[in-house]
Structures are given as structure tokens and as C-alpha cells.
């Protein structure tokens, strides 16, 4: 399915929002409980924070309409992973979570025109 224009008219933002919706639905189907979506602080944003009731799971969602710029998961660089780790620490502090195991996942969503979206969940990606 081709990306639709969002309120801002930017088809990339509409594609990203659709990918995050699909990712959240996928995570719920896997039994996870979503705690936060698009949590922001001065340093950046966490796409999805969830739990499997044993650990905190921080999910970076990457959506693409094709592989012209590589697969969605390939866009999570070492620098991006380090920033997500820092943001997770900030989330834990803000929500007063003293300590818990944390897993970092990537949910890659490919929305290619006229095809069913493909979702790949990389558990413990970084």
C-alpha cells in the first residue's frame, strides 16, 4: 500500500505513523503491554516502550516503502542504538523505575505498494 499524505502533507510522516501503528499491534499480539508511545524528552524520542511482565522492552520502529535505502533494520546505527539506550535510562528515571532488566528491539515494517505489510521483530537487536 502506498503511503498516504498525513495532516502535514508529508508522505514519509504518514508512512512512519502507519508503521508505528502496525508495530504496536504486532507487539500486543505477541502479548506485550505497551507502556509508552512516542515518549519524548530533550534528547529525543522512544518509539515504543513495552513490557512482557518480566522486563522492559524498548522498541525502535523503522518503516520503509522499499529497500532503495536499505532494509528498515539496517538504519539503526551504533550511534542511534547508543542514543536509544540513553533515552531508556531517562525513561526509567522519569517513571521512577528503580531497576529492571531492559531489552532493546527493532521492529522493521515494510509497506510496499499493493502488498500486505511485512513486519519483522528483531528481539535483543542491540
CATH of the domain at 94: 3.40.1350.10
Dig out the grid coordinates for 85 from the structure.
Answer: 539506550
Indicate whether 1 belongs to any domain.
Answer: no
Q: Which residues of 82-96 are buried (b: 16+ CB within 10 A; e: fewer)?
A: ebbeebbeebbeeee
| 6 in any annotated domain | no
The whole-number pLDDT of residue 8 equals 55
Q: How many domains are there within the chain?
A: 1
Assigned domain for 3 exists = no
Q: What pLDDT, on the 0 to 100 scale, is given for residue 78?
A: 95
**What are the pLDDT digits (tens) for 66-99?**
767 778 888 899 999 999 999 999 999 999 998 8
Q: Which helix (H) or strand (E) holds 38?
A: strand 33-41
48 is a domain residue: yes
96 found inside a domain = yes
Show the domain range for 24. 11-122
Is residue 5 assigned to a domain? no
Q: List pLDDT tens digits, range 22-41.
A: 999 999 999 999 999 999 99
Amino acid at each position: 500500500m502506498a503511503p498516504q499524505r498525513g495532516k502535514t502533507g508529508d508522505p514519509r510522516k504518514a508512512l512512519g505513523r502507519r508503521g508505528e501503528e502496525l508495530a504496536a499491534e504486532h507487539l500486543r499480539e505477541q502479548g506485550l503491554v505497551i507502556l509508552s508511545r512516542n515518549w519524548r524528552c530533550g534528547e529525543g524520542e522512544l518509539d515504543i516502550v513495552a513490557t512482557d511482565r518480566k522486563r522492559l522492552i524498548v522498541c525502535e520502529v523503522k518503516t520503509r516503502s522499499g529497500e532503495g535505502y536499505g532494509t528498515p533494520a539496517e538504519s539503526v546505527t551504533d550511534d542511534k542504538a547508543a542514543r536509544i539506550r540513553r533515552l531508556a535510562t531517562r525513561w526509567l528515571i522519569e517513571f521512577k523505575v528503580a531497576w529492571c532488566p531492559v531489552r532493546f528491539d527493532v521492529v522493521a515494517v515494510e509497506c510496499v505498494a499493493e502488498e500486505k505489510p511485512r513486519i519483522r521483530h528483531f528481539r535483543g537487536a542491540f
